Structure 1
Amino acid sequence: MTIQFIDSSAGLKDLCEQLAESTWLAIDTEFHREKTYYPQLCLIQVANDDVIACVDPLKIDDLSPLMDVFYRTDMTLVFHAARQDLELLFLLRDALPQQVFDTQLAATVLGYGDQIGYGNLVKQCLNVDLDKAHARTDWRQRPLSPEQIDYAADDVRYLRELYHQLEAKLVDTGRINWLKEDFATLSATETYQSNPESSWLRIKGSGRLKSSQLAVLQQLGVWREQRAIKQNLPRRWIIKDDVMLDLARFSPSSLDAMNKIRGLESRDIDRHGQAILKAIEAGKAVPQEQWPVMKRPQPLSNQQDALVDALMGLLRKLCDEQTITPVAVATRKDIEALVRDQDSPIKHGWRHEIVGQKLEQFLAGELKISASQQQLEIQ
């Protein structure tokens, strides 16, 4: 099938006419994010059973005709590992398509493993080895070679076949409705909205700070996030995480005192010094009752730890019966949350349906397990 390379408004209009009757489309994107806060869209790949096209957003000013196709109410958009692609669509449209299908999530409930990569899934399902020669391509560069375009097209060429195959398997196994909640989360705007107030939670090492220092770190995080958004720069280009931690820990009260913070360059002090001091003062002014608190769960007792071990064994047995990788259903932390009677992914959706209910029954004394030769038996 000939790959169409669309780099003009006229070509885009013609492509949209070809896609007009589609009820589903396989979608992928190429983007660059190393030097910006927001991803820079560099290529859009789209396919159905009859068309494969690569659309050049660097050459076309108005992508709205294609977005109108994507956002039709009767359209299902098919992705593999959809979040980053959907983030780009959200930035373009300030809205999200409401019908999505993620082949990575579908593969999870069909026993192909947790967070399986596109290439591995194509190999397992279609017995095709994808070319990796252009994996490090800078997609901002033009012109793109025919080999690069063909490489990019592979991301939707086989995605449409995966969609047909995995959807059929979901129907055959009665699991077609298991992923409704997961797909709905992918289409929720709050999934992609930045929240400067909580940006400090992404700073590694924050758990080592005192609550009073966390109040300062939170204000510094708000300032850095807003600055990064305004300038469209990576957070680390504003102030690095380890410097943020030391600023919160030592809370310098003057520009001279900032010179003692390791890793804080003179140019950073010149550019951001006053704003940093203002954020530190705002953090110090936060009332104690409003200080952020890192939730550190109490260690499990020996008996609780043994109970988690038993539940992990039951999890593995139930997943083996369903031909699903246990890690795709629940981690040990998820099981620990269940033992603590806290919220856990295993209490919701398909995970609760196939495993969570059984684990809750075991905890309630309504289900027993025993050993029979070399396997567990459920009673």
Structure 2
Amino acid sequence: MIDTPQRLRRALTLLGGADELFVDTEFHREQTYWPQFALMQIAVRGAEGGRCFLIDPLAIDDLGPLWRLLLDPGRRKIFHAARQDVEIIHHASGGLPLPLFDTQVAAALLGYGQQVGFGTLVQQLTGVTLAKEATFTDWLARPLSAAQRRYAADDVLHLIPVYDHLRAQLQARGRSDWLDDEQRQLTDPRAYQPDVETLFWRTKGSKSLKPKQLAVLRPLVAWREQTAQARDLPRKRLIPDESLVELARQEELDLERLAAIRGISRGLVKRFGAELLAAWRRGIATPPEEWPRRRRAATPATPGSAPRADLLDALLQLKAAELEIAPAILASKSDLAALASWGGRKQPGPPPDIPLLRGWRRRLIGETMLEMLAGRLMIRIDPERRLPVILPVAPH
């Protein structure tokens, strides 16, 4: 266990010789806004499967040298389901551990399923069954038991062969560039810095509000987000979504009415009532021309949209089966609906800006769908194999 500055220096000296770092973190988030960073595991290649270092952030005040190692662009950092690990590193260091490789994303692109769990992936690729006794454990407690330490180490030591299997498969099947595209959001700092002015769109119950009420909800949600961050409290523990939506419906509000709203305690009113009222008043004062209005669908339904979407879905199923990946990896239902609606216009203009028509997806299937909507391709049953096939339409 690396639990002193001296041990950390020695560990970082050894880790500094590696150009690949296999990383995982343990944390808690039930009681806080920011993840409570409890443990970091880093493995490197070595004899007998690799060497693992367990770093205790609760015992070491200055983790700056660790962050410099992880932010070094000359080393690849490998994670499984990287987003929350990257968020911890970004929150603590202000940077991103680039370049990175997310084995969960890679596995999805190779047909192992969307959001496949690490234990399942290890079993499928190596035949090893990982212990589960520490899956839901208190990582903030000290000292860590032998079982906890073994579980933590296994998460990164087995990441080495999983990464090797997946990287080789990506290269052999020509899908390495797919991974680069898919990981772009993980490597964008904006993904870890929510825009407090647009969060209200994602508030539960907001779809029932009118534009004037949405104008009130917007500063209320922004206030909650900023206060939750500053006080390190879970958003919904501070004020649940439903209470914010009810506040946004109020035509008049004072401290007494505020305390009468379900989900808002008198203690919260005493502590934050003036701030909440100020946010509500800012919203009420919003001029009508600045009221938020929901965007209309970029491609509203056109006659025949449903059967066109069904045809595109049939093509999607064929291509997904050919590639041996889940259809949803290639295209979402909303992508198909948007493309099907666009395809029904007499003068369609540019196609919709959707993931299906970007990058590797466009090359693999998006262009084919555009050709089908243009009437240049069709699907028919091969009479010998009794399977659907895609064929060009013969010219008249």
TM-score by length of 1: 0.94
Supply the distance in 2 between the matched residues of 1:124 and 1:300 (Cα, whole angstroms): 43
Matched, 1:36 2:46: no
Q: Which moved more, 1:176-185 or 1:238-247?
A: 176-185
Q: Which residue of 1 aligns with 2:13?
A: 17
Alignment of 1:324-343 (within 5 A): 324-341=325-342, 342-343=352-353
Post-superposition Cα deviations, 1:327-358, rounded to whole Å, max 9, x if no partner, equal 22222112112224432211122222222221
Which ranges of structure 1 fall in alignment gaps of 5 or more residues? none
Identity percentage of aligned residues:
39
Partner of 1:7 in structure 2?
Answer: 3
Q: d(CA) in 2 for partners of 1:116 and 1:54?
A: 25
Pick from 336, 353, 360: which aligns with 1:350?
A: 360
Q: Where do 1:241-252 residues align within 5 Å?
A: 241-252=241-252
Partners of 2:222 and 2:251 in 1: CA distance: 16
Q: Is the 8 A contact 1:80 1:118 kept in 2?
A: yes
Contact 1:319 1:355 in 2 (8 A): no
Partners of 1:316 and 1:151 in 2: CA distance: 39
Considering only aligned residues, what root-mean-square deviation do their CA atoms show, in Å?
A: 1.6
2:309 corresponds to 1:308: yes
C-alpha displacement of 1:178? 1.6
Cα distance in 1 for partners of 2:248, 2:381 equals: 54
Tell me the SS of whatever aligns to 2:73. coil
Query: Does the aligned pair in 2 maintain the 1:122–1:162 contact within 8 Å?
Result: yes
Q: Matches of 1:216 and 1:159 in 2, distance apart?
A: 47
Aligned-residue offset at 1:86:
0.5
Is residue 337–residue 343 contact of structure 1 (8 Å, CA) maintained in 2?
no
Match among 390, 393, 396 for residue 378 of structure 1? 390
Name the count of aligned residue pairs: 375
Amino acid at match of 2:293: V
Q: Deviations over 1:260-291 (max 9, x none)?
A: 42232222222222222211111111121211
Q: Work out the CA distance in 1 between the residues paired with 2:85 and 2:138.
A: 17
Distance 1:208 1:296, change over 3 A: farther
- Rate the CA distance shift 1:115–1:350 in 2: closer, same or farther, 3 A: farther
Higher mean C-alpha displacement, 282-291 vs 179-188: 179-188
Higher relative contact order (CA 8 A, sep 6+): 1
- Read off the aligned partner of 1:316 and give its amino acid letter: Q
Q: Distance in 2 between matches of 1:263 and 1:177?
A: 48
In structure 1, the residue corresponding to 2:136 is in which secondary structure? coil
CA distance in 2, matches of 1:252, 1:83: 42
Shift of 1:38: 0.8
> Are the equivalent residues in 1 in contact too, given 2:239–2:263 (CA < 8 A)?
no
Whether 1:280 and 2:276 are equivalent positions in the alignment is no
Aligned residue number for residue 324 of structure 2: 323
Residue 314 (structure 1) shift:
0.4
Equivalents in 2 of 1:340, 1:48: separation in Å? 51
Q: Map residues 175-214 of structure 1 onto 2, 5 A cutoff.
A: 175-214=175-214
> Is the 8 Å Cα contact of residues 81 and 105 (structure 1) preserved in structure 2?
yes
Q: Is the 8 A contact 2:41 2:52 kept in 1?
A: yes
Q: C-alpha deviations, 1:244-270, integer Å up to 9, x for none? A: 110011244212222442232222222
Matches of 1:252 and 1:275, distance apart in 2: 16
> How far apart in 2 are the matches of 1:305 and 1:193?
38
Whether contact under 8 Å (2:330, 2:356) holds in the other structure is yes
Residue aligned with 1:369, SS: strand
Aligned match of 2:91? 91
Q: 184-193 vs 162-171, which deviates more?
A: 184-193
Residues 1:47 and 2:57 are matched in the alignment? no
Distance 1:354 1:302 in 2: 27
Give the letter aligned to residue 159 of structure 1: L
8 Å CA contact retained: 1:318, 1:355: yes
- 1:116 corresponds to 2:112: no
Once residues 233 and 224 of structure 2 are traced to their aligned partners in structure 1, the CA distance between those partners, rounded to angstroms, is 10
Bigger mean CA deviation after superposition, 330-339 or 202-211: 330-339
Instruction: Give the drift of 1:202.
Output: 2.6
Whether the aligned pair in 2 keeps the contact of 1:216 and 1:282 (CA below 8 Å) is yes
- Preserved contact between residue 207 and residue 294 of structure 1 (Cα < 8 Å): no
